[in-house]
A = this chain, B = another copy of it.
Amino acid sequence: MKILILGGDGYLGWPTSMDLASKGHEVLAVDNYSRRTIAMQTSSEALIPTPNLEERARIFKEKTGETINISIGDLKDFRFIEDHIKTFQPDAVVHYAEQPSAPYSLKGYEEAHYTLKNNLEVTHNLIWAILKNKPECHIVKLGTMGEYGCPNIDIEEGWLEIEHKGRKDKFLFPRAAGSLYHTTKVLDTDLLWFYVRTYDLKVTDLMQGPVYGLSTTESDLDERLLPNFHYDDIFGTVVNRFLVQAVAGVPLTVYGKGGQVRGYLNLKDTLQCVDLAINNPAGERELKIYNQLTETFSVNQLAEKVRKAGELLGINVEVKSIPNPRREPEDHYYNPSNTGLLDLGLRPHFMTPEVLADMMEIVQRHKKNISINKIYPRVKWS
């Protein structure tokens, strides 16, 4: 298949590009280095320096013989994205090309406006480039479990049948996200669903939980092929922050009570899920939605897992609570359904102490790069 990856330089975009190229697909990866630019501007560079995308593709070719085509440009420019759809004629597009940082999206007006504009305009440009030039192309869009927020009812996979005053209808599952970044993904879903039902677009929207992990079949070949590892308060996930704090010998910082529950998945499982989505395309006028997570736990449970991983490496891990910079429930009901992708054949890799210890060993090799002050929250929600 011909597969276009938007946001091919990202934490998920790069491993996805390698995985799909290794599976024999013709891959074109596009990026504008927006994440790298923001990382510089906010002093939030990744722990492990990564070569640029052209260079990564060159190393990947050297190691595997496989080709990843690269194009650098801004998808907010309609002519740029339309050109690629016209000439490459992809069978599927994997759309990761969004400003992905929640704290950045709440930093101030400029950052909020950039996040809203970038994420909505790129999605809208992609929709129109496909409608006009390859309407049968399947869009695999990365959404987020964060779109749902923390409702007091079970989270179904994208849709909900509602009975009200004796009548029934089926709707998108209600969404109420916790940050502007997550809200732009809610808007993306609304927009995609409009074009799916009105213009017969084919879309799969993957509601993904926080992803962790550095190891994939391809990234294990050469450290220069590793995905980006951010541990800062802008791009870093809670998992990465905890691992870096453990290695640096400072206490893990839990925001507030630590009862915040999320659904996590291993990077290897993201690759499986995207592959399953590509191989089971949505039909015409169908918006397929899957909840992409393999297990749920609270921030406190996560801290305990990191503590156990530390033990395996002889590291004594401490945990402390700091004031929560976010406006979020710290103790809440959370029960998302996730059977869709399992039914398609997903075989989960769970977050064991061994898996976390493997990540910690990579972090240890780059310990000299850790700036511990980057970890503490610089952006307050609201």
Chain A interface (Cβ < 8 Å from any Cβ of B) = 78, 109, 112-113, 116-117, 120-121, 124-125, 128, 132, 151-154, 156, 160, 162-165, 167-169, 171-172, 174-180, 183, 186-187, 190-191, 193-194, 197-200, 327, 333, 381-382
Which of A156, A183, A381 has the most CB atoms of chain B within a 10 A radius of its CB?
A: A183
* A78 partner residues in chain B, CB cutoff 8 A: 109, 113
* A179 partner residues in chain B, CB cutoff 8 A: 198
* A176 partner residues in chain B, CB cutoff 8 A: 171-172, 193-194, 197
* A168 partner residues in chain B, CB cutoff 8 A: 152-153
- Other than A120-B187, A153-B167, give 19 A-B pairs with Cβ distance below 8 A: A109-B128, A113-B125, A116-B120, A117-B117, A120-B120, A152-B167, A153-B163, A153-B164, A153-B165, A153-B169, A171-B176, A174-B174, A176-B193, A178-B198, A179-B198, A183-B191, A183-B194, A187-B190, A198-B327
* A178 partner residues in chain B, CB cutoff 8 A: 198
Inter-subunit contact A162/B172 (CB<8 Å): no
* With A174-B162, A190-B190: A382-B183 Cβ-Cβ less than 8 Å: no
* A128 partner residues in chain B, CB cutoff 8 A: 109, 112-113
Name the residue on B nearest A326 (C-beta): B198
**What are 28 A-B residue pairs whose CB atoms fall within 8 Å in the complex?**
A78-B109, A112-B124, A112-B128, A113-B121, A116-B121, A116-B191, A117-B117, A117-B121, A120-B120, A152-B169, A153-B163, A153-B165, A153-B167, A153-B169, A156-B164, A162-B174, A171-B174, A171-B176, A172-B174, A172-B176, A174-B174, A176-B197, A178-B198, A179-B198, A190-B190, A198-B327, A199-B382, A200-B382
* With A183-B190, A190-B187, A199-B382: A165-B154 Cβ-Cβ less than 8 Å: yes
Name the residue on B nearest A109 (C-beta): B128
* A175 partner residues in chain B, CB cutoff 8 A: 190
